[in-house]
Amino acid sequence: MKSEFLLAFNEICESRGLPKEEVFEALKTALVSAYRRDMNVSNTQAVKVEIDPRTGEPTIYAEKEVVDNIVDNRTEVLLSVARRQGYPDAQIGDLVMVDSTTANFGRIAAQTAKQVLLQRVREAEREQLYEDFSDREGELVNGTVQSVSGQHITIGLGRTEAIMPKSQQVPGERYRPHDKIRVYVLEVRRTNRGPQIFVSRNHRNLLRRLLELEVPEIYNGQVDIKSIAREAGQRSKVAVQALQPGVDPVGACVGMRGVRIQSIVRELNDEKIDVIEWDPDQR
């Protein structure tokens, strides 16, 4: 762990958006654990590490008893050594924190640092994925069918995967590996292995989002979707209301010669969609 380590450390932290102080503390904790394993010392023995901010060189300090004759150098230190290491008034039997860095600890430290950085990078990437997709709950995403099982379908979403349970599939739709598919993000859960994303093809809000994409008047707030009743794969009924005088809400959704609604019908594999004007007296 020379100055090259610090350069690499800083570069990784900055490029991945990792908080340097947190990573440094994690590195110190890992180095202490590595020392304990390497030296086979008790967890009750105080051990700490300091990292030179200029060179990145680690120094291990372990609590040891001051003695005049060493039996176990893992837990004991000579009186003369203790006094040279900043304890001029040390006496036999005192407990002192002394430099206990071993000759091969640099190699162990380098390996540990690499592991800690890789772990933190993975954690940061998992957290970033979670943040990205949790913000997209309730939205549409495009994916690729990766595998099909009896209970669920796995869908690739670029850097991660989503699961479409059988309960969220549309009866009659056929899903094959490598098929392109548009799905509704139902729920995103945080797990130790990264975000677990559940998507749907039969949720009524899938139809709502498709209408928002296809009908500018809905997206712009001129037309409001008041209610959706959906029997996925068969028939849906959408009630809409104009929020601006002079706007035909049904005509806006259907489009000239039905081009807008037909685009959605094709997306939903010929599901029949009825668009009606909202009547507040018929709820």
Q: Which sign does the torsion angle of CA 268, 270, 276, 282 carry?
A: negative
Q: Is the pLDDT of residue 3 over 70?
A: no
Question: For 194-212, what is each residue's pLDDT tens digit?
Answer: 899 999 999 999 999 999 9
For domain 204-277, the CATH superfamily is: K homology (KH) domain (3.30.300.20)
Give the mean pLDDT of the chain: 89
Name the percent of the chain lying above pLDDT 70.
98
Q: Is the pLDDT of residue 76 over 60?
A: yes
Q: Is the pLDDT of residue 5 over 70?
A: no
Tokens describing residue 2: 């020379």
pLDDT at position 1: 47
Instruction: Quote the DSSP letter at residue 24.
Output: H
Tokens describing residue 202: 């039969």
pLDDT at position 119: 82
Q: Report which of residues 57 and 74 the model is more confident about.
A: 74
Instruction: Quote the DSSP letter at residue 167.
Output: G
Q: Where in the chain is the domain with CATH 3.30.300.20?
A: 204-277
- Dihedral angle computed from the Cα positions of residues 90, 96, 101 and 102, in that order, rounded to the nearest 10 degrees: 80
Average pLDDT over residues 41-49: 91
Name the percent of the chain lying above pLDDT 90.
61
d(CA 169, CA 151): 10
Return the H-helix or E-strand segment holding 8. helix 3-16
pLDDT at position 161: 94
Within 103-258, where are the H helices?
105-134, 204-214, 216-219, 249-254
Q: Where in the chain is the domain with CATH 2.40.50.140?
A: 137-200
> Helix, strand, or coil here: 74?
coil
pLDDT at position 39: 87
Question: For 84-107, what is each residue's pLDDT tens digit?
Answer: 999 999 999 999 999 998 887 777
Q: Which sign does the torsion angle of CA 174, 177, 180, 184 carry?
A: positive
For domain 3-132, the CATH superfamily is: NusA, N-terminal domain (3.30.1480.10)
Q: Where in the chain is the domain with CATH 3.30.1480.10?
A: 3-132
* Rg from Cα positions in the chain: 32
pLDDT at position 166: 94
Q: Is the pLDDT of residue 230 over 90?
A: yes
Tokens describing residue 26: 């994690």
For domain 137-200, the CATH superfamily is: Nucleic acid-binding proteins (2.40.50.140)
Contact between 240 and 225 (Cβ < 8 Å): yes
Sequence-ordered list of residues with C-beta below 8 angstroms from that of 72, at least 6 positions apart, any chain: none
Average pLDDT over residues 146-152: 90
Tokens describing residue 27: 């590195």
